Amino acid sequence: MGLSLAQRLSSQGVQVTLFERERQAGGLTTYHDYGSFWWDRFYHVILSSDRNLIGYLHEIGLGDQLRWSPARSGLYARGRMYPVTSPWELLRFPLVGMIGKLRLARTILTCNRIRDWRVLEAVSVEEWLIGQCGRRTYEAFWKPLLLAKLGEQYARVSAVFIWSYITRLFSTRDTTAQRNQLGYVAGGYRTVIRRLEQLIQAAGGTIRLGTAIQAIVPAPDGGFSVHANGREDHFDKVIWTGPIEGGSPLATQGLVSVGATSGPIEYLGVVCSVLVTRKAVVPYYTLNLADSEIPFTGVIGMSSIVPTKETAGLFLTYFPKYVPSDDPYLKLPDDTVRQQFGEGLRKLFPDLQEADIVALHINRAVKVQPLQVLHYSTKVPTVATRHKDFFVLNTSQFVNSTLNNNAVIGAVNEFVQAHGRNFVEVSNLSQTGLEPARVS
């Protein structure tokens, strides 16, 4: 969000400074050093329906780096893996009866017909899906998917989640060449992040990595003083694109109210084990798990869509486990996670030998998925705030969409359309010495 916003505004002549707490840009979309290659720290793919994102990749000159591969999905239940990609495979899926399958199809059609998603905010996703499909189909099909995406917290999430998930998955581009395919950018998201860094710097912007903002203080004569790394800088305008937490740099100055009425936004964190192997582990991009003994909530076979020439001839498989952002699991030592992970791995893939494993990386993120609880849209911070020159743009504002980079670019597009002119005007005035800027 911060990088694309900085790129967009700086390309319009706004003088931008981007603050990033980590030593590497990209946030959750960032890359990771897997030894002999770089790839995304957390698994990412692009859907053919991601129009905002695909349009943006073309705009920044990476359209010709987009690659597409057929995607397959599977479900693990009762000690077996079942393919569930095509309608034909779904028809043969033995754990749901024929009536359940018809109701499954009807649920997808119903989702595609619902225009006013707000009606789903009052009902839990579990209750809604059971109402649509019956308990048996819910337990066999939907619950593993909810667990893979949300961990045990799925029970508190509203039906908007499944509506936005299904409508995103089933909306396709007009040109259907990439229908049912998943996309990535050659070189992974590292290619995108590095391009954005270059474009921002080429347009005169500044990127300050390893710089956590400690305070944003409104200045008496207008604008803000931003405190970070023992230094204070003045900016005319600030946009905050990180999560908002109690005690954050924003809350202390009363710029936005954190949890004034309904409590702060709750986030899920993720512990994501990434296995690098010499042979393919799983033929599916997503394998949902209906087995409560397995210590992760899903399996993502990245190498089922990304050819191994991108990953030094090796295979990459991600094993996420989503938990609340204050769950002690996020703080477990790597060795404990490794041990639990090994037990699950042996159960799922008994043929995988020790000699096939090159490395196991354990990555964590604390604030990942805002938890879209009942009536979520009434709880999120607004883009425009109490201060006319301070804005918030973050993923907690996605009230009718899942967490994804297509929605991120959509939010940036809307922001630039609504407020970009103000930034450009202030920028033109800054010939007088003021430095207009924005903060991520």
**Interface positions with ligand FAD (CB under 6 A):** 1-2, 19-22, 27-29, 42-45, 212-213, 241-242, 249, 270, 272, 320, 365, 368, 394-395, 403-406, 408, 440
CB nearer to ligand FAD: pick between 1 and 16: 1
Give me the least distance between CB of 170 and ligand FAD, in Å please: 16
Give me the least distance between CB of 395 and ligand FAD, in Å please: 4
Q: Which residue in the shown chain puts its C-beta closest to ligand FAD?
A: 27
Residue 273 near residue 341 (C-beta atoms within 8 A): yes
CB nearer to ligand FAD: pick between 162 and 272: 272
CB nearer to ligand FAD: pick between 107 and 401: 401
- Three-class DSSP category at 70: strand
In whole angstroms, give the CA distance from residue 76 to residue 322.
18
CB nearer to ligand FAD: pick between 392 and 426: 392
Tokens of 313: 């001839």
CB nearer to ligand FAD: pick between 397 and 430: 397
Residue located via tokens 């994102």: 53
Tokens of 166: 């299904």
CB nearer to ligand FAD: pick between 137 and 404: 404
Give me the least distance between CB of 250 and ligand FAD, in Å please: 9
CB nearer to ligand FAD: pick between 241 and 427: 241
- Three-class DSSP category at 287: strand
Query: How many of the other CB atoms lie within 10 Å of CB of 246?
Result: 10
In whole angstroms, give the CA distance from residue 389 to residue 216.
12
Indicate the helix (H) or strand (E) that contains 363.
Answer: strand 357-370
Give me the least distance between CB of 106 and ligand FAD, in Å please: 27
Residue 6 near residue 415 (C-beta atoms within 8 A): no
CB nearer to ligand FAD: pick between 367 and 379: 367
Strands 46-47 and 267-277: unpaired
- Three-class DSSP category at 339: helix
CB nearer to ligand FAD: pick between 223 and 242: 242
DSSP track, 13-67: T---EEE-SSSSS-GGG-EEE-SS-EEESS---EETT-HHHHHHHHHTT-GGGEE
In whole angstroms, give the CA distance from residue 382 to residue 386.
10
Amino acid residing at 299? V
Give me the least distance between CB of 75 and ligand FAD, in Å please: 19
Give me the least distance between CB of 141 and ligand FAD, in Å please: 21
Instruction: Write the CA distances from 26 to 12, 46, 59, 193, integer angstroms.
Output: 22, 16, 18, 6
Tokens of 195: 């391009």
Tokens of 286: 């997503």
Give me the least distance between CB of 8 and ligand FAD, in Å please: 13
Strands 224-228 and 213-218: antiparallel
Give me the least distance between CB of 118 and ligand FAD, in Å please: 23
Burial (CB < 10 A; 0-12, 13-18, 19+), residue 13, is middle
Give me the least distance between CB of 32 and ligand FAD, in Å please: 12
Give me the least distance between CB of 135 and ligand FAD, in Å please: 29
CB nearer to ligand FAD: pick between 241 and 317: 241
